[in-house]
C-alpha cells in the first residue's frame, strides 16, 4: 500500500473501529511498511482517544514466556476467559516460529487458544518470528501500540520460548511472566536460560502434576537471594483452572508498579528512542553510507551525524509534509 490516499483511508477506518483495518495495519507494521504513518496514527489516537478505554492507565501489556511445551498457549487461553469474565477486552500477539518454506507463522500457538470469532472484545493474531530477533518480531512495539490505540485493555504477547533471546520482551511489556513446569530441568539449566533476570513473575504451570512442590522450592531458592529483587512465584493449573484469578491480580499489581516507576519509564523510553534512531538511520539508504564515509574520514563529528539523522527524521515524518 504505497499510495498516501490509501493509507489515509485505512487510518480513517481504524479510527472508526474497523477490525479489518486494524489487521491490515498490523500486517504493514510487521513488514516494516508505512511505519511513520502508523506511528502518527498511534500518536493521534493517544492524544485524542475515541472511547473511554483508549489512553486509560489501566491498560496492560503482558509477555508470557517460557520453554516450548510449558503450556503458554493453554495458559493464554485461560487468561482470555478470566479477563472476559471480568469485562476486559484482550488482544493476543502469538509469536510463532517462522516457517522455513513460506516465511509465515506456523500457527501452532493459535490452535491451542479458544476460538471466539463472535466476540469483538477478543483479537488474536499470529506473527512469524525470524531467528535472531530475540524471540519477538521486529516492530512489535508498534503493533502493541496499535492494539492499545484500538481500545484493547489487555495486550498479551506470547513469545516463542528461545532462552536468552527472550530478554528482548523486557522492553515491550509492563510485566514478563515466566512459565516453568515440573521436571523441566535443574537449577543450572534455568539460570543459563537467562530468563530469571527479566521475569517479573514466575508461574509453576501444570501445578497439578507430580513434582510441582520441588520445582517451586528450587525457584524460590534462586530468586530470593540476598540483594536481589523480590519476584513472586505462583502455582497455576490451566487444566484444573486453579490459580488463574490470583495470577491476574498479581499481574495487575506489578503492571501498576511498573507504570508508576520513574526509573522503569525512563529505561523503556530510552530503549524506544534508541530503537527508533537506529531504524531511522537504516532507512536513509545511500544517505546513510554518505554519513558513514564522512564520519570515518573525520569530516563529520559524532554530534554532527546525530544532528543530521534527527533532522532527516523530522523532515520525513508525516506531520512535516
Specify whether 242 is located in the same domain as 270. Answer: no
Specify whether 137 is located in the same domain as 207. Answer: yes
Specify whether 94 is located in the same domain as 12. Answer: no
* pTM score, whole prediction: 0.77
* CB neighbourhood size of 123 (10 A): 20
- Whole-number Å distance between alpha carbons of 122 and 223: 34
Look at residues 48, 67, 86 and tell me which one is the last residue of a structural domain.
48
Helical residues (DSSP H) of the chain, grouped into ranges: 4-15, 19-31, 35-47, 72-85, 108-111, 140-150, 187-193, 212-223, 244-260, 262-282, 286-296, 302-316
Look at residues 212, 227, 260 and tell me which one is the last residue of a structural domain.
260
- Whole-number Å distance between alpha carbons of 196 and 178: 8
Specify whether 65 is located in the same domain as 147. Answer: yes
Per-residue pLDDT of the chain (321 residues; tens, 9 = 90+): 456 788 889 999 998 999 999 999 999 998 888 888 898 888 887 776 555 444 444 678 999 988 888 899 999 999 999 999 999 999 999 987 654 444 444 444 454 555 566 788 999 998 877 654 445 777 888 999 999 999 999 999 998 765 444 556 777 889 999 999 887 555 445 554 556 777 899 999 999 999 899 888 888 887 777 767 788 999 999 999 999 999 999 999 999 887 655 556 666 677 667 767 777 787 777 788 888 888 888 888 888 888 888 887 676 654 554
Specify whether 190 is located in the same domain as 298. Answer: no
**DSSP summary character for residue 235:** E
Count of domains observed in the chain: 3
Specify whether 36 is located in the same domain as 84. Answer: no
Specify whether 280 is located in the same domain as 297. Answer: yes
Specify whether 15 is located in the same domain as 110. Answer: no
- Residue 239 burial by CB count (10 A; 0-12/13-18/19+): exposed, middle or buried? middle
225: Cβ–Cβ under 8 A, 6 or more apart, which residues? none
Domain range enclosing 31: 1-48
Specify whether 121 is located in the same domain as 212. Answer: yes
The phi, psi pair for 62, rounded to 5°, reads -125, 130
Amino acid at each position: 500500500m504505497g499510495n498516501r490516499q490509501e493509507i489515509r483511508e485505512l487510518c480513517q477506518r481504524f479510527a472508526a473501529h474497523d477490525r479489518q483495518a486494524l489487521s491490515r495495519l498490523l500486517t504493514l507494521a510487521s513488514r516494516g511498511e508505512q511505519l511513520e504513518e502508523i506511528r502518527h496514527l498511534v500518536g493521534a489516537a493517544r492524544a485524542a482517544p475515541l472511547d473511554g478505554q483508549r489512553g486509560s492507565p489501566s491498560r496492560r501489556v503482558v509477555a508470557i514466556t517460557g520453554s516450548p511445551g510449558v503450556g503458554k498457549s493453554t495458559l493464554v487461553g485461560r487468561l482470555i476467559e478470566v479477563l472476559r469474565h471480568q469485562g476486559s477486552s484482550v488482544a493476543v500477539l502469538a509469536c510463532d516460529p517462522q516457517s522455513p518454506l513460506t516465511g509465515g507463522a506456523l500457527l501452532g500457538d493459535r490452535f491451542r487458544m479458544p476460538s471466539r470469532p463472535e466476540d469483538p472484545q477478543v483479537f488474536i493474531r499470529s506473527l512469524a518470528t525470524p531467528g535472531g530477533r530475540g524471540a519477538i518480531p521486529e516492530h512489535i512495539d508498534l503493533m502493541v501500540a496499535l492494539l492499545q490505540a484500538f481500545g484493547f485493555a489487555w495486550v498479551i504477547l506470547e513469545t516463542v520460548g528461545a532462552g536468552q533471546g527472550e530478554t528482548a520482551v523486557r522492553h515491550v511489556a509492563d510485566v514478563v511472566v515466566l512459565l516453568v513446569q515440573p521436571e523441566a530441568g535443574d537449577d543450572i539449566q534455568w539460570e543459563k536460560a537467562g530468563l530469571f533476570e527479566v521475569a517479573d513473575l514466575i508461574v509453576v504451570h501444570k501445578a497439578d502434576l507430580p513434582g510441582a512442590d520441588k520445582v517451586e522450592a528450587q525457584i524460590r531458592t534462586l530468586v530470593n537471594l540476598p540483594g536481589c529483587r523480590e519476584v513472586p512465584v505462583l502455582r497455576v493449573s490451566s487444566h484444573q483452572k486453579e490459580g488463574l484469578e490470583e495470577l491476574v491480580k498479581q499481574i495487575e499489581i506489578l503492571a501498576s508498579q511498573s507504570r508508576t516507576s520513574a526509573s522503569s519509564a525512563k529505561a523503556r523510553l530510552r530503549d524506544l528512542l534508541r530503537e527508533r534512531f537506529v531504524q531511522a538511520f537504516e532507512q536513509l539508504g545511500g544517505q546513510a553510507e554518505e554519513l558513514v564515509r564522512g564520519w570515518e574520514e573525520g569530516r563529520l563529528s559524532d554530534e554532527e551525524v546525530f544532528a543530521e539523522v534527527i533532522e532527516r527524521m523530522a523532515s520525513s515524518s508525516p506531520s512535516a509534509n
